[in-house]
Amino acid sequence: MSEQTPASGPITGGPADPEHDATAAYGLDRAYVASLTRRLVSTTGETVAVASPIGGTPLAHVPQSSTADVAEAFARARRAQVSWSATSLDDRAAALLRLHDLLLDRQEELIDLVVWESGKARKDAYLEVAHLALTARYYARTAHEHLDTRRVGGMFPVLTRAEVNRVPKGVVGIISPWNYPLTMALCDGIPALLAGNAVVSKPDAQTVLTALLAAQLLEEAGFPPETWQVVAGPGAEVGGAIVAHADYVCFTGSTATGRIIAKGCAERLIGCSLELGGKNPMLVLRDADVSRAAEGATRAVFSNAGQLCVSMERLFVADQVYDRFVDAFVSRTQAMTLGASQDWSVDIGSLISQAQLDTVTRHVEDAVAKGARVLTGGRHRPDLGPFVFEPTILEGVSADMECFGKETFGPVVSLYRFHSEDEAVERANDGAYGLNASVWTRDTARGRALARRIRCGTVNVNEAYGATFGSLGAPMGGMRESGLGRRQGAEGIHRYTEAQSVATQRLVPIAPMLGMSEETNAKVMTGALRLLNKLGLA
Q: Which residues bind ligand NAD (CB under 6 A)?
A: 175-179, 202, 204, 235-236, 239-240, 252-254, 257, 260-261, 275-278, 309, 407, 409, 435, 478, 483
- The answer to whether 89 and 149 have CB atoms below 8 angstroms apart is no
Q: Name the residue nearer to ligand NAD (CB basis): 48 or 326.
A: 48
Reply yes or no on whether 163 is catalytic.
no
Q: What is the DSSP string of 213-262?
A: HHHHHHHHHT--GGGEEE--S-IIIIIHHHHHH-SEEEEES-HHHHHHHH
Closer of 188 and 390 to ligand NAD (Cβ):
188
Closest CA to 6 of 310, 334, 381: 381
What is the C-alpha end-to-end distance of the chain, expressed in Å? 68
- Order of strands across the sheet with 160-168? 150-152, 160-168, 497-505
In angstroms, give the least distance from the CB of 269 to ligand NAD.
18
Helix axes 208-221, 30-37, angle to 10 degrees: 70
Minimum CB separation of residue 18 from ligand NAD in Å reads: 25
Q: Give whichever of 166 and 279 is closer to ligand NAD, judged by the CB atom.
A: 279
Of the candidates 333, 383, 390, 334, the one whose C-alpha atom is nearest the C-alpha of residue 357 is: 390
Q: How many CA atoms lie within 13 A of 23 on its CB side?
A: 0
Closest distance to ligand NAD from the beta carbon of 493 (Å): 16
**Which string of b and e fits 510-536 if b means at least 16 CB within 10 Å?**
eeeeeeeeeeeeeeeeeeeeeeeeeee
Pairing of strands 150-152, 160-168: antiparallel
Going by their DSSP bridges, the two strands 58-63 and 47-51 should be labelled as antiparallel
Nearest distance, CB of residue 171 and ligand NAD, angstroms: 16
Could you say which of 72, 275, 390, 421 is catalytic?
275
Kindly tell me which of 371 and 473 has the beta carbon lying closer to ligand NAD. Answer: 473
SS3 labels along 98-129: HHHHHHHHCHHHHHHHHHHHHCCCHHHHHHHH
Q: Which CB sits closer to ligand NAD, 275 or 390?
A: 275
Residue 72 or 204 with smaller CB distance to ligand NAD: 204
Q: How far is the CB of 51 from ligand NAD (least distance, A)?
A: 17
Q: Smallest distance, Å, CB 176 to ligand NAD?
A: 6
Q: Distance between alpha carbon 477 and the CA centroid of its chain, in Å?
A: 8
Whichever of 50 and 317 has its CB closer to ligand NAD, that residue is 50
Cα–Cα distance, 329 to 69 (Å, whole number):
50
Q: Which of 485, 493, 474 is nearest to 143 (CA)?
A: 493
**Closest CB 154 distance from ligand NAD, rounded Å:** 39
> Catalytic amino acids?
275
